[in-house]
Chain A
Amino acid sequence: MHEWALAESIIRAAEEYASRNGLQRISLLRVYLGELQAIDHEILGFALDNLRREAGVAIDRIEIVEEEAVFRCNRCGYEWRLSDTDLPEEAREAIHFVPEAVHAYMACPRCGSRDYVVVSGRGVRIEVDLEG
């Protein structure tokens, strides 16, 4: 389960942040999951719940927020959503591991350019709130 590795990353990053800033507790850890990476919300939540118990910092609450994947072409400026496209299963699986691989499978629907930005919903990022 690749989700476990990501959950470990999240806890590790929270611990590192806490120790760097001399904190004993984090009131809210908000985890943003990008649609592009298609992380399994439930497995990640389960892994986070397990790992937080052994974490080197007290985390009062973990909240998971899903983000829609949006792309913008660097050539023609066109904006589109992942849901507008029809990626084959193989591509979705590869992108699940390395979202940047999307450039190997998808081009701008308007001009065909592979030079585009993932505006939102790429992968995992977290927000730490000390007094939420």
Chain B
Amino acid sequence: MSWALTVIDPRWAMARERLRGVGRVFFVESSKGGVGKTVFSALLALVLAEKGVRVGLFDADFTNPGLHTVLGVEPVLEAIGEDKGVLPVEAGGVLFMSIAFYTGGRPLGLRGYEASSALVELLAVTRWGGIDALVVDTPPGIGDEHMDLHWLRPDTRVIAVSTPSRLAVESLIRLIEYLGSQGIRVAAVAENMSDKPSLRPLAEDRGIEYIGPLPYDPGLEQALGSPAGLRSTKPYRVLRRLVDRGLDTLGWWR
């Protein structure tokens, strides 16, 4: 006779353990779409890799992954290696994992609980192999993926990306307030596609580090798909200079 039967989803314990094995985790978030989270995530990972940081990049936008396009990695299953788990793919010195390898870039519609399930599945089986940092590109909004990620790794550094547009800024404030109400501090605000540091006061008044302004670069479109090309874009050069000057959020490895 059994007196204590408990059903467990074993993936959560493993996903937590694997994330614990990563030195520092950054979630790139923005409630508003189209502010440049994906490109920023890629540029950040590429800058860190150039500085000698062993860095991983994870696409958590399961229904609309884009990082493979930014990095120029073909989304085919054959790219993935297997060794007691799945191995990320190297691009521009960055270790990269995405759902796109499994969907082959096909359209994928998921209910929230399924996105959550796919997220934990991939995090449970991906072996990052002792990296110093993991940059996670998240979908727009505040949904299942964000809540799961924050729960899996509570000490994550959130980098909130925004443009100076009033629409994006409203969203940014809501995100900072929401996360704050959950005991999660936003580590930095990155102002993207902007020539003026218009979001600096907003960030600094709240004790949040300011990263920017990262300029709009018409040449960026051409550089998509090539890590070397991305490294010659204006926002990349600005971000690298800011990291060199010693941002707290991004300079821990010195």
Let me know if B86 and A104 touch, CB within 8 A: no
Let me know if A101 and B5 touch, CB within 8 A: no
Task: Give the interface segment out of B23-31, B105-113, B176-184, B220-228.
Answer: B105-113
Interface size grouping (class) on chain A: 35 or more
B79 within 8 A of A: no
Let me know if B8 and A90 touch, CB within 8 A: no
A93 within 8 A of B: yes
In the complex, chain B residues 126-151 whose Cβ is within 8 Å of any chain A Cβ: 127
Closest-CB distance, B113 to chain A (whole angstroms): 10
Chain B hits for A16, CB < 8 A:
13
Contacts A104-B107, A131-B3; A8 near B14 (Cβ below 8 A): yes
Interface size grouping (class) on chain B: 35 or more
Let me know if B3 and A93 touch, CB within 8 A: no
- Interface of chain A, helix or strand or loop or mixed? helix
Let me know if A10 and B10 touch, CB within 8 A: yes
Q: List residues of B whose CB falls within 8 A of some A CB.
A: 1-14, 17, 62, 77, 80, 82-86, 99, 101-104, 106-111, 114-115, 117-118, 121-122, 124-125, 127
Supply 10 A–B pairs (Cβ within 8 Å), ascending by A: A1-B84, A2-B125, A8-B85, A14-B8, A94-B102, A98-B118, A103-B108, A103-B114, A125-B7, A130-B4
Let me know if A98 and B122 touch, CB within 8 A: yes
Closest-CB distance, A122 to chain B (whole angstroms): 8
